[in-house]
Amino acid sequence: MEKQTIGIADMKLARTQGTLVTYALGSCIGICLWDPLLKIGALVHIMLPINMEKNRISPFKYADTGIRLTLTKMEQMGAKRSRIVAKIAGGAKMFNVPGNGSLGNIGQRNIASVHQVLRLEGIRLVKEDVGGSAARTLFFDVATGEGTVKIYGNVERKL
């Protein structure tokens, strides 16, 4: 079965079968979007909450433009927005840096932004594995819609 790797600020789609994987999510978030009827799945790896770039050359770096563009691409393949569900993982705080500066809460801001964008786009969030202080590798099986989260020194968790 085909496995596709999604880098930072990247997105890939698969249809019917295949595994989408993104490695070492820290404060970044991996968003799995899935149309269960057509088995169209996508995985986006976002790094920041909101796109404020002037020329928007990296839409997948940001939660807002990343999710929206992915939904559009899924719809172009025939997916229906009303059927699409989401699962997300990431948003950790890797270092216990003192103070509550922009660095300390990037993970939390990413989680909040992903939640908000999904809500605005009418996408149901069915499961999440977010926050904490550990990095996550996320596997997403497009045939079943099942996610797996791998954490260093821990058993794998179903998503």
The catalytic residue positions are 28
Taking CB under 8 A as the criterion, the residue among 28, 33, 63, 123 binding another protein is: 28
Is 44 near another protein (CB under 8 A)?
A: no
Q: DSSP states of the chain as a string?
A: --EEE--TTEEEEEESS-EEEEEEESSSEEEEEEETTTTEEEEEEE-BS----SS-S-GGGBHHHHHHHHHHHHHHTT--TTT-EEEEEE----S--SS--TTTTHHHHHHHHHHHHHHHTT-EEEEEEE-SS--EEEEEETTTTEEEEE-TTS--EE-
Taking CB under 8 A as the criterion, the residue among 18, 34, 39, 61 binding another protein is: 61
CB of 111 to another protein, least distance (A): 13
Q: Which is nearer to another protein, 108 or 126 (CB)?
A: 108
CB of 92 to another protein, least distance (A): 7
Q: Which of 68, 92, 51 is nearest to 11 (CA)?
A: 68
Q: Which is nearer to another protein, 67 or 92 (CB)?
A: 92
Taking CB under 8 A as the criterion, the residue among 13, 14, 42, 48 binding another protein is: 48
Give residues 74-113 in contact with another protein (rule: CB under 8 A): 92, 94-98, 101-103, 106
Point out which residues bind another protein (CB under 8 A): 7-10, 23-28, 47-48, 52-53, 57-58, 61, 92, 94-98, 101-103, 106, 133-137, 152-153
